Structure 1
């Protein structure tokens, strides 16, 4: 699903073409397209289109920027979702992986006391006192997203591999700010559904809720670009089989993250350009409101 693009090679020289035969994208030759970069005129597919003030530019021209002596044709190049094009399109993904690994190392070094202080559960008797989200420790809904089972290294390995494979391309398509919003909101939605439906004393931890949100947004993005949906559907089905096939997996976090990811992802890639920010961040705000309301309802039930 995450195929590295080839090196820019310019338009293919294939001799005369039929009137209805479109050229292939310069980075993805198997994808026919009728759109060309406004600066270099190379054919570009939807994945490679970067919004400019007039038309679209290719990623190579965007990277060159305005310091090459060429007159700028786009004052602020944008991603498909309207985000700012970054030199390193995977920077946030790398930071998120780094944070998860750092927290995991602290868990191993400090022990259960650290994990118990920041994992998610609703209400339980721990260390001689009642603790949990219901006791006002709302931070657990966020911190639990960066913790993993210290006794099971495969837990963090599989989650970080999934974050790298799915997160990188999605970050490039959305832009950093929108990608961070999607990740955090999906993770919080997963925590909220866990808090609502799981037993009060059931501990939950892991980044899988946020990662399932990335899966959902990726499916929406691929649909928007008219790509073959079978790979992402197969990946989702496999993950859902694992979700419901093992008793020690918090399915609530996966489903909550997936639903939030689909909703936020749809707003990100389908928002009309003239009201893009309003629609995108408005939907983010609505999902966050749903998270807060769910948390308040469950807290009322437990207290």
Structure 2
């Protein structure tokens, strides 16, 4: 006669530490958690959770993922620009400088206007400060034209180049205009060297990006004609700024994609050094000339 064996009871518990049954955060071992990173499957506590497209990820996975995300850039490098703060700042500086001329034109112009003789004697700051001054009151057309041009094309160029490159372009074009005045003129004031540099920049960028260049060519052509047709205008400052701005923008726009930022920085420094050395090595070459840039 056979007999049924007794029903076996529950298995004896294993002798394991309690920590094997309760998951804890991998960064905070004292915190119990049942949530895991969707990427690496490590347990994470609420302080270590980062919202992801699906579920949550840990801090390390979010950081690692951020390294693989391509940072947005302007068309020719640099950070994208939403508000053209450099353009507005340049407008404000020019207007404030003109208001200073309204208050005391003789004092401001005598100390800060671009003068080849004074630069040759060591007052190098005039190479820059002269580019922020304009024909003194009661004349208003000079600053109005330059500020209108800066307002019209400055924001677009700043968005294409990025704020840092746009600043370099503007200042180098202004310096290039002043260096041309130093070599071939005598005295001048005005932002026109920098403005003509922006005209040259528009030409280069239009060509590089395949835009219709006829409007830009007409703009440059008309202004060059006016430069020589209207008495008292510093053609040196205009053409110096135009050539410098065109050159700098070409170096920006046609820089190789590999190591583009380093190439652009190096070329900016090279242009700056060339302009500075020109003033240091060469004396003023022309007879006295007075003009508004």
* Contact residue 81 and residue 158 of structure 2 kept, 8 A: no
Where structure 2 has 5 or more consecutive residues not aligned to the other structure, the ranges are 1-50, 55-64, 287-293
Q: Tell me if the contact between 1:133 and 1:299 (Cα under 8 Å) persists in the aligned partners.
A: no
User: Which of 103, 122, 134 matches 1:136?
Assistant: 122
Residue among 193, 209, 223 paired with 2:180: 193
1:284 Cα shift?
1.3
Instruction: Please state if 1:149 is matched with 2:143.
Output: no
Deviation at 1:223, TM superposition (A): 0.5
Counterpart for residue 259 of structure 1: 243
Instruction: State how many pairs are aligned.
Output: 224
2:153 is matched with: 166
Q: CA contact under 8 A between 1:107 and 1:114: conserved in structure 2?
A: yes
Instruction: Single out whichever of 279-288 and 160-169 deviates more from structure 2.
Output: 279-288
The normalised TM-score by structure 2 is 0.72
- Secondary structure at the aligned position of 1:247 is classed as coil
Match of 1:274 in 2: 258
> 1:195–1:298: 8 Å Cα contact kept in structure 2?
no
Specify which of 77, 82, 99 is matched with residue 77 of structure 2.
82
1:157-195 deviations in whole A, cap 9, x for unaligned?
000001111211000000000000000001001100110
- Structure 1 residues 159 and 196, CA, compared in 2 at 3 Å: closer, same or farther? same
What TM-score do the two structures reach when normalised by structure 1? 0.70
Q: Residue 221 of structure 1 is aligned with which of 205, 213, 217?
A: 205
**Quick check: 1:290 aligned with 2:290?**
no
- Counterpart Cα distance in 1 of 2:207 and 2:152: 18
Q: Secondary structure at the match of 1:273?
A: coil
Larger Rg: 2
Deviation at 1:244, TM superposition (A): 1.0
CA drift of 1:77 comes to: 0.8
Deviation at 1:269, TM superposition (A): 1.3
Matched, 1:114 2:114: no
Secondary structure class of the residue paired with 2:115: coil
Worse-superposed segment, 78-87 or 288-297: 288-297
Among 170, 189, 193, which residue is 1:183 paired with? 170
Gaps of 5+ in 1: 1-66, 124-131
Counterparts of 2:125 and 2:52, CA distance in 1? 47
Structure 1 residues 109 and 277: CA distance shift in structure 2, 3 A: same
Quote how far apart the aligned CAs of 1:301 are. Answer: 7.0
In the alignment, the residues of structure 2 paired with residue 301 and residue 227 of structure 1 have an alpha-carbon distance, to the nearest angstrom, of 39
CA shift for structure 1 position 111 = 2.5
Q: Which residue of 1 aligns with 2:189?
A: 205
What's the Cα RMSD here? 2.2
User: CA, structure 1 residues 97+275, in 2 after alignment: closer, same or farther (shift >3 Å)?
Assistant: same
Instruction: Measure how far apart 1:241 and its partner are.
Output: 0.6
* 2:205 alignment partner, SS class: helix
